[in-house]
Amino acid sequence: MGIALDGLVSGLNTTELINALMDVHAIPRNLMKAKADDKNVIISQLQTLNTSIQDLAAKAKAAASGDSIDRFAATSSSKNVTVALRPGATAVTADIVVDRVAQKHTVVTAASAEWPDAPPTLTLENAAGERVEVTAASSSMTDVARAINGAGFGISASVVAAGTDADGNPVQRLQLVAAESGEDGAFRVLRGDIASTEAGTAADVVDAPGAAIVATGTDAQVRLWAGTAAEQVITSSENTFTDLFTGVDVTVTAASTDAVTVGVTVDDAARTTAAADFVNQLASILTRIDNGSKATVGGGADDTTTLGVFTGDSTVRALRQALAEAIQHPIDGVSPSSIGISIDRYGVLTIDEKKFAAALADDPAAVTGMFTGMAERVQQTAETYSDKYDGLLTARITGQQSEVDVLGKQMERWDVRLEQRRATLERTYARLETMLSQMQSQSQYLTSQLAGLPSFDTGSR
């Protein structure tokens, strides 16, 4: 690194001189930096646009399958029966009778100060006849509950206070509850090991005085078309009957002898809103492209033209045109404007929701067919431009990024050259100061020598 001797001899501000010269030398590098910054702004905007197009492609794919505007409302004539809809649901109405709801098998043991057996060895048996043997650390009710819970056998045990015995000692019960509801969750708890259980000598805890089965594990049961020759009984280990009808889940919370009417109806208002949301999303993208492509001319004394980030970008312009054509070209000879979807002379895409709703009510199949046809074309266009591997817009972003990378490497080389140039200037000016210092020293020496020469008086002759 050179040493700057700012005007020690010459009086010149060499640092300012070097900086000014470096500013001139750095002009090409600064132009590259400005160009790279502009391209980074363009890349950022293109990436944002590409993300929006990818999202549009996904929405269009759903719309092309008809799912995006399939909107249904669920109904039930009883608060004890609820209906939930999933993809694939269609309009349906039916009466069901809820015979019973699902229960978890629940057992309460007899009250005692501690478990009657020592050591407390138990056999847990499920509805399938599978068994597991557990032994508690002590006869305390807490340790017995801990041993049952630790077995991981689908039985949850908890200790419940049950007052005091005749001697005033606190007594407790165990409440044993199946982890799963339904008949398959039923279980037995026997006092003894597996060998005694198999021998039939192990006593069931519910046989003790004061013990009871509080709830028997049962499946929920409903009947369709009750009282007719087509009556159908359906059971479930849970209170939710999944896919009772295609895409329709029915949950029951109480039994009833009266039939409950459940139904799924087409929600035309929601279908119109869904269609409008899709069209408005596309309209927003077209507007963003239009705004980014404008060239603004300053008014008054400022006649500078400011270009939009997409101005002159042929890829974005082609994307805009392709999307507009996908939405406005006729489907089977019928214009989308007939169902309220149109583009005005300024290129603004809109949807007349009242007109769309009226067309949907008049001919749902025709409107759905036209809408899905438009969505399919939008999907194809969006995927052509936004595919993450070979999309046209993706390639445009990649190309811009490559140019920025090249500019970055060129700027790095320029930075090296500029550092070398600054070092050269600093050495040059440092030598200048040194030479001036030497010349000044020589001048002072000659002056002192001249001053020391003898003088001659010529006037006295």
Q: Which of 181, 201, 191 is nearest to 125 (CA)?
A: 191
Q: What pLDDT shows up at residue 91?
A: 84
Q: Which of 69, 122, 442, 110 is nearest to 268 (CA)?
A: 69
Q: What pLDDT shows up at residue 1?
A: 46
3-state secondary structure of 174: strand
d(CA 368, CA 272): 11
Q: What pLDDT shows up at residue 2?
A: 47
The conformation of residue 13, written as its DSSP 8-state character, comes to -
Distance of CA 25 to the CA centre of its chain: 49
Given its phi and psi angles, is residue 26 left (phi above 0), alpha (psi -120 to 50 degrees) or beta? alpha
DSSP-H helix ranges across 151-188:
none
CA distances to 383, 406, 456 from 56, rounded to whole Å, are: 9, 33, 107
Cis link prior to 116 (omega < 30° from 0)? no
Q: What pLDDT shows up at residue 456?
A: 64
Q: What pLDDT shows up at residue 67?
A: 61
Per residue in 30-63, is it b (16+ CB within 10 Å) or e — as a string? eebeeebeeeeebbebbeebbebbbebbebbbbb
Q: What single-letter amino acid sits at 45?
A: Q
d(CA 46, CA 398): 10
**Tokens found for residue 390:** 């070979």
Q: What pLDDT shows up at residue 300?
A: 57
Q: Which of 366, 360, 356, 294 is nearest to 333 (CA)?
A: 366
Q: Which of 189, 20, 222, 223 is nearest to 117 (CA)?
A: 189
pTM above 0.95, yes or no: no
Q: Transcribe 247-303 into DSSP letters.
A: TEEEEE-S--SS-EEEEEEE-HHHHHHHHHHHHHHHHHHHHHHHHHT-EEEPPTT--
Residue with tokens 């505007």: 69
Q: pLDDT digits over 394-418, tens only?
A: 999 999 899 999 999 999 999 999 9
- Find the helix or strand (DSSP H, E) in which 388 lies: none
> Which residues of the chain fall short of a pLDDT of 50?
1-2, 461
Residue with tokens 């192990």: 202
Q: Which of 274, 256, 240 is nearest to 84 (CA)?
A: 240
Q: Transcribe 65-85 into DSSP letters.
A: TTGGG--EEEEES-TTEEEEE
DSSP-H helix ranges across 65-181:
141-150
Q: 241: exposed, middle or buried (C-beta count within 10 Å: 0-12, 13-18, 19+)?
A: buried
**Tokens found for residue 157:** 């045990």
CB of 52 within 8 A of CB of 46?
Answer: no
CB-CB neighbours of 141 under 10 Å: 26
CA distances to 148, 195, 197 from 200, rounded to whole Å, are: 21, 9, 5
Q: pLDDT digits over 270-282, tens only?
A: 888 889 999 999 9
d(CA 121, CA 114): 13
